Structure 1
Amino acid sequence: MAFDLASLTRRPIAARDAAALAELLNAIEAADVFGEYYSESDAAEQINAPLLDLGRGTVGVFDGDLMVGYSSAAHKPLAEGVHRVGVSGGVHPDYRRRGLGAELLAAGIASAKVLHSIHHPGLPLAVDVQNNALNDSALACYRAAAMTPLRSYSHLRHPLGAAIVDVPAPEGFVFEGYSADNDPEFLAVGNEAFLERRGGAPMPPEQWRGLLGWQAFRPGLSFLLRDAGSGAAAGMLLTFSWDADTEATRVRDAHFMRIGTRPAYRRRGVAGALISHALRSAQDDGFDRASLDVDADGLTGANGLYERAGFIVARTEVSYTLKV
């Protein structure tokens, strides 16, 4: 396809761009296969994320009314040691191999520097990106920008049915479904469990509220495991399911977005029981499969846990980083 890069319009993404962004993301999915499909409302949730600075953190590239590329930088409201800014982006398949991807990556890095100077100027900055491990052109673009591999992630799937391994709750523990009453405990357990992965900084309440405000959140398939003796919440699991994915694939997928165990309760069967309970609940609720993402290079033993539960690797994604 012939086009002139100079004729394309660049501007920050706005709320009115939800339909255009969804169309672009679905075109990218068809080429790059992330397993993610978007409705206009899904894209609107991304655009209206509470902490996204549209004016300073995003760039949309348009050919007339068609969005043909984008870049988005997301700062961390809380950071310790290093401020890690995640940059995402992509180019419509018909507009590739003309340098637009490199331009948008450079724009994302520039946005990250601006956001960093506002929110955490006293910390070192690291800019992180992530993509399908099979997307050679994107990985080459990262390397050309002097980014280096950081880690890889596995997307795992579970077929449910006979593959479910029943793991009872440890003695003295009880399952509890998500509710407004125990919502603060879900956040507290998640923050304590993920401190190592989040650079020592907890997820702030406004970001939590934004996450659980997504239409994809499934409170009926989200569970807490409580120590009945002490009353403490020991572990949590949050489930999401996107209607756009179901419509595109005809497969209802229960995605376990977050699974966490408080350090004091690790190696006591908490995570295994939560996963088993959620898998059985998804099966009973008519879902076709379950999925989750895990750090393929992690040292927590999670990969073995998921393998024993019946999950298998469906694809791999890799992340690159740039220390600025």
Structure 2
Amino acid sequence: MIEIHGPPVDGLQFRHYRGEDDLPGMLRVYSAAHEADRIEEVTSLEQLRLNYENLVNFDPDRDITMVEVDGELVAYARVFWNDLVEGGRSYENFGFVHPKWRRKGIGDALHRHNEARLREIAAAHADVSPKWFGSEGPDTDAGNTALLAGDGYTPARYFYDMVAPTLDGIEPLPMPQGIELRPVKRDQYRTIWLGAEEAFRDHWGQAEQVEADWERFVADPDNKDPELWRIGWAGDEVAGVVITTVPAEENELHGRARVYVASVAVRRPWRRRGLARALMTSSLVAAREAGFTSANLGVDTDSPTGATTLYESLGFIPDKTFTAYRKPLA
């Protein structure tokens, strides 16, 4: 058990993570929290397992806390840290509480415990500056917003989940001069991943990528079929990337035929030439021809590449908002 000063709830216990055996219960809590917050994304047990197999800057024996009431898992929380491309180190704090057990002080207890653990971790990083706490959440989770605001966290960035309710009217565009589309092969995945990661180094909050990030990407079941991917090649170099996937379980749950544009990235030498638009229209037209009727994606509302304007011009509209928060770690 973990000694945490928690709320007066009968049968409440805080304990350590027990590994893979905990994942089904965690998924149940995670999915219930998403449903309550009107987040339609569906995560499978396979994806959750893959994620926890490839975590970095994280000690499974100390950096995750499980919460039970009478032996039933009702919440969990985790901490980790990231070195950021922009400089400095972010100490991340998040958790999920089953909706039936919200507003009882469990989230507050986990938050305080997470911060204490992160301060302990940060104290061993004496040579790093600046440092800050980081967290995020959907704006539909009023409890999370109030908890963070009440503890000195301030909004640092805003994000949209955008939806194109129809793919009708989207027409393919020619590739810019010198750019070629080629069928995607499995042995190209690492080159594609590296190209996209280089492009994203310009983005706010981007963490330095490590080998575990690649392992998670290549093993993700959503990336198994690259039929809707569009990669712009300039000779042997990746110029731009659009990775579009099919969230089959999500489509089945919500009774729709939607694709998810998981990544749109253009490397600096090939920007401002219409490449992102050409890659996206090619991918979305292919999705329409395959029988899909809508699409969604996520975007930083202050993207340095003007991505929001591009997506709006292709029929995407904001559907949900998310906020990333920061708090100085002194």
Q: TM-score, normalised by structure 2?
A: 0.87
Shift of 1:266: 0.5
For residues 56-90 of structure 1, the C-alpha deviation after alignment (integer angstroms, 9 at most, x for no partner) is 32111112342211112232267662112333312
Q: Residue in 2 aligned with 1:112?
A: 118
Q: Which amino acid aligns with 1:66?
A: E
Alignment of 1:179-190 (within 5 A): 179-190=185-196
Shift of 1:171: 2.6
Structure 2 distance, partners of 1:86, 1:250, is: 35
Identity %: 24
SS in 1 for 2:135: strand
Structure 2 distance, partners of 1:247, 1:136, is: 28
Q: Residue in 2 aligned with 1:99?
A: 105
Q: Residue in 1 aligned with 2:89?
A: 83
Distance 1:265-1:215 versus aligned 2 partners, 3 A rule? same
Q: Residue in 1 aligned with 2:215?
A: 209
Does 2:155 align with 1:149?
A: yes
Q: Residue in 1 aligned with 2:230?
A: 223
Q: Residue in 2 aligned with 1:269?
A: 274
Distance 1:67-1:43 versus aligned 2 partners, 3 A rule? farther
Shift of 1:119: 6.7
SS in 2 for 1:106: helix
Structure 2 distance, partners of 1:287, 1:294, is: 21
Deviates more, 1:251-260 or 1:140-149: 251-260
Q: Which amino acid aligns with 1:62?
A: E
For residues 242-274 of structure 1, the C-alpha deviation after alignment (integer angstroms, 9 at most, x for no partner) is 333223212243222221111111001111111
Q: Residue in 2 aligned with 1:318?
A: 323
Q: Residue in 2 aligned with 1:10?
A: 14
Structure 2 distance, partners of 1:46, 1:216, is: 13
Q: Residue in 2 aligned with 1:304?
A: 309
Is the 1:36–1:245 contact (alpha carbons within 8 Å) kept by the matching residues of 2?
yes
Structure 2 distance, partners of 1:23, 1:199, is: 29
For residues 125-154 of structure 1, the C-alpha deviation after alignment (integer angstroms, 9 at most, x for no partner) is 222211122322211100111111111101
Q: TM-score, normalised by structure 1?
A: 0.89
For residues 173-194 of structure 1, the C-alpha deviation after alignment (integer angstroms, 9 at most, x for no partner) is 1113432332232122122211
Shift of 1:198: 5.8
Shift of 1:314: 1.0
Distance 1:76-1:119 versus aligned 2 partners, 3 A rule? farther
**Could you say what the CA RMSD is over the residues aligned between the two structures, in angstroms?**
2.4
Q: Residue in 2 aligned with 1:281?
A: 286
Shift of 1:303: 0.9
Deviates more, 1:67-76 or 1:200-209: 200-209
Does 2:150 align with 1:136?
A: no
Shift of 1:105: 1.8
Q: Which amino acid aligns with 1:211?
A: F
Q: Which one of 163, 168, 180 corresponds to residue 162 of structure 1?
A: 168
Q: Which runs of 4+ in 1 moved over 6 A?
A: none
Is the 1:160–1:279 contact (alpha carbons within 8 Å) kept by the matching residues of 2?
no
Deviates more, 1:149-158 or 1:113-122: 113-122
Structure 2 distance, partners of 1:116, 1:321, is: 15
Is the 2:88–2:128 contact (alpha carbons within 8 Å) kept by the matching residues of 1?
no
Structure 1, unmatched stretches of 5+, are none
Structure 2 distance, partners of 1:116, 1:264, is: 37
Structure 2 distance, partners of 1:236, 1:121, is: 36
SS in 2 for 1:170: coil
Is the 1:160–1:289 contact (alpha carbons within 8 Å) kept by the matching residues of 2?
yes
Q: Which one of 49, 53, 57 corresponds to residue 54 of structure 2?
A: 49
Is the 2:167–2:295 contact (alpha carbons within 8 Å) kept by the matching residues of 1?
no
SS in 1 for 2:146: helix
Deviates more, 1:37-46 or 1:88-97: 37-46
Is the 2:54–2:212 contact (alpha carbons within 8 Å) kept by the matching residues of 1?
no
Q: Residue in 2 aligned with 1:293?
A: 298
Structure 2 distance, partners of 1:19, 1:78, is: 31
Q: Which one of 228, 240, 250 corresponds to residue 245 of structure 1?
A: 250
Q: Which amino acid aligns with 1:5?
A: V
For residues 228-248 of structure 1, the C-alpha deviation after alignment (integer angstroms, 9 at most, x for no partner) is 4xx321111223443332232
